[in-house]
Chains A and B, each alone.
Chain A
Amino acid sequence: MGFKIGNHRITGMDAFLIIVFIFWVLITYQIFWADTGDSKSQSQANTNGKTEIVFWHAMGGPLGEAMDKLINEYNNDPNSKCYVKTINMGGYDTLQKKLLASLIADEAPDVAQCFETLTKKFIKHEKIVCIDDLINADIEKAKSENKPIEDIRNDIIPALRINNTFAGKLYSFPFNKSVQVLYYNKDMFKEVGLDPEKPPRTFNELRAYCQTIVDYYKSKGIEGKYGYGCAKSNNWSFLNRIKANKGYIVKRDNDGILKCGFNEKAAIDSLSFLQDMLKDGLAKEGQAFDHQNEFIAGKCGIIESSVTSKIYMNPDFRMGMAPVPGIEDETLPGGVYRSTILSGTNICIFKNVDSKKIEGAWDFIKWFTNTENGVKWSIGTTYMPVRVSSVNSGLMKAEMQKDPNLNAIYGYLDNLAFEPRITAWFEIRDLIADYLERCTLEHKDPKSYCAEMQKDIDGMLKHVTDTDDNKELGNVDM
């Protein structure tokens, strides 16, 4: 047998392990002793003895930077009631998971971003503070102190207020709200003979513009260019088009039963509009950010995307923005009827035994969304301002003058709508996306998909109508 026991020669391996060990000791020192003492005293200095509010969010990249900048201002403001500590969860997905886990463990943050469906669950199980009560308390206080009474509710953009109102009470506060918009390539418009300052206003115009673009490049023998790009099986666009076609998504019928409107003309038109564009080679769908990339690369003239994508798109050409198209309507001043569906989250305050925390959180929300900061937030991120006073402020007007693209977003906020806040909505949403996918993969008659979709979703809605939470928190609003 040829093995040796107790061989003490130092091998390369031993040297490696020794180096790793020394390294480890240094790191451990750095983490536990060198740094923490520092940051502890630092954070104490920062909070200035104010109550610390923990805010969980999912604002990454440039959006997060803009937010942190604003929040820093708040923290350094001597009049602010608390110190806000932001924690980035990296995405809505993980934020939601962490929220659920922390609520079960009774370790919820003080404030967090929430989608409406989740808010509704929080209300049902009494996890969040009702903002309405806080506003009423403010008003009572102002009355008793003989100060001017200000009802913030009246200053929230009406659609956003309804969006956050459950069973007649405002529970959460709109925070980062976005809409779909059209982005278009002004240089390409000019090249193909379209007016760069006249983006398409209606679906018919959009189609005609795309035809012009495609025809132009075909005549020049240039391949790979097309008119309109959008994301694959994009619910948001589809629902937007239904609303713009004056249709509805879900409503209560006379017996109080929820019914969806996917087999109505508005929905069928919405579906066939896209299918026809794809079939005729005017449009192309892309996975994830493909359409955005192709647009930046100058391959397509117009895309539909979230307004926040603006920050991520810095193309080499002159980029124009326009509201999503609508339908002709002579009775309206502009001759076009538009409707846009809102997306994005709201902010919730979680119940806490420490009333100071709730007070601080509320102070922070009021500050963050006030007239001036709302404008800053909008300009920094392109999220919508949530207060009417922000939209009408001189600051906003000046910014809109400076950047005409902003005008395209905030100049057309009529007929804002939002997705139904029913419990099964996430499931239904997924189902709609399946149908949209099938429609563009199989290219069958849109009517058949719409009929099937209606049947499937009505089936699901029937189940939902009877569940308590939907009755109590009532308003489906769509």
Chain B
Amino acid sequence: MLNKNKKDWGAYLYLMPVIVILFVFHVLPIFMSLGVSFYEWDLIGKPEFVGAGNYTRLFDDPMFWKSIWNTIYYAALSIPLTIFLSMGIAILLNNPIKGLGFYRTAYFIPVVTSINAVAIVWNFIYHPEIGLLNKVIGWFGISPVAWLQDPNWAMPAIILMSVWKGLGNNIIIFLTGLQNIPKHLYEAARIDGANRWQQFVHITWPMLSPTTFFIFTMSVIGSFQVFSQVYMMTPRGGPLKSTMVVVYYLYRKAFDQFEFGYALAMAFVLFLIIFACTLFNKLYVEKKVHYS
């Protein structure tokens, strides 16, 4: 590599626009928030310094732990589901078949639609009586489920809807990644007599790994911050708080109960969790990623 031993400060010229804007509009507010998380502040009066009080209080807050658990539940189910489904569909869509334009558009439409309208449509789909979903499972002889109103099914329902909404995004990213895989690799493999599965294992999977790594990292960051779906579809955090996720909980603390410092403490615990996951990804998982 060039410049291997030089202190290449010139690189910062390329980074400057991004760094400046991110620093002013995103990093500074984060530090401001970090400061506030050590205060008790109702957003209107004078903030009162409480040291680590907000953080220690978190440990005794059962709802906080419940929300962490719900968030992990959401992430643990939605991340693999989205990744494997979208990878599979992207591979299917990478075939030279007719109607690609239609398919690609169809799978992308949910990404385009606004959450506002989507939430209402899905509320109708999940409706215990007139909902489509219960009709469909009825064909297979399964008795109706109350979905969003059932403590056991509310979270899976949110997850299904999130997968639907987010799938298209990942499909497109995977497709872009697939298109970057040189065709001649497959031709060579075919000449060597590799079957489809072998081609997938030895070419597609490793060559796609930078994309998969990206999607995985972003999914972790995104799904730990799940909010809109929960906020729109299950007011108050779902039946028996079964869909109360961390961001929704801190949102309510901040803007309904005016405990802004406490809410920010929660946000930073979440930040630490996400940061730890990302660091782990960057340091260990990325080692397995195959860059050219």
A binding-site residues for B, Cβ under 8 Å: 93, 96-97, 100, 103-104, 121-122, 124-125, 127, 224, 232-233, 287-288, 290, 424, 426-427, 430, 433-434, 437-438, 441
Contacts and interface: CB of A to CB of B under 8 A. Distances in A.
Contacts of A441: 151, 239-240
Nearest to B45: A125
Contact of A434 (B45, B240, B252, B258): B240
24 contacts: A93-B255, A96-B255, A100-B255, A103-B44, A121-B42, A121-B44, A121-B45, A122-B44, A124-B44, A125-B44, A125-B45, A224-B129, A232-B149, A233-B236, A287-B148, A288-B123, A290-B127, A426-B257, A430-B236, A430-B252, A430-B256, A434-B241, A437-B240, A441-B240
Contacts of A288: 123, 235
B43 interface: yes
Contact of A433 (B129, B151, B236): B236
A100 B263 CA distance: 15
A134 to B, nearest CB: 22
B28 to A, nearest CB: 15
Given A426-B257, A427-B257, 6 more contacts: A104-B43, A121-B258, A125-B45, A430-B256, A434-B240, A441-B240
Contacts of B42: 121
Given A97-B255, A287-B148, A427-B257, A124 B236 contact: no
A424 B257 CA distance: 7
Contacts of B240: 434, 437-438, 441
A127 B42 CA distance: 14
Contacts of A233: 236
Which 5 pairs, one residue from A and one from B, show the smallest C-beta to C-beta distance?
A100-B43, A125-B45, A125-B44, A426-B256, A121-B44
A427 B258 CA distance: 10
A296 to B, nearest CB: 13
Contacts of A433: 236
B35 to A, nearest CB: 14
Contacts of A287: 123, 148-149
A123 B149 CA distance: 39
A323 to B, nearest CB: 27
A226 to B, nearest CB: 11
A100 B260 CA distance: 11
A224 B130 CA distance: 11
Interface in B199-242: 235-236, 239-241
A290 B236 CA distance: 16
Contacts of B129: 224
A274 to B, nearest CB: 16
Interface string B122-140: 0100010100000000000
Contacts of A434: 240-241
Contacts of A290: 127
Contacts of B44: 100, 103-104, 121-122, 124-125, 127
A437 B239 contact: yes
Contacts of B255: 93, 96-97, 100
Contacts of B43: 100, 103-104
Interface in B13-50: 42-45
A437 B150 CA distance: 11
Nearest to A117: B258
Contacts of A121: 42, 44-45, 258
A113 to B, nearest CB: 15
A288 B239 CA distance: 13
A21 to B, nearest CB: 20
Nearest to B234: A287
Interface in B29-80: 42-45
B151 A124 contact: no
Contacts of B45: 121, 124-125
A434 B244 CA distance: 12
A233 B43 CA distance: 29
A96 B240 CA distance: 26
Contacts of B151: 441
A127 B45 CA distance: 10
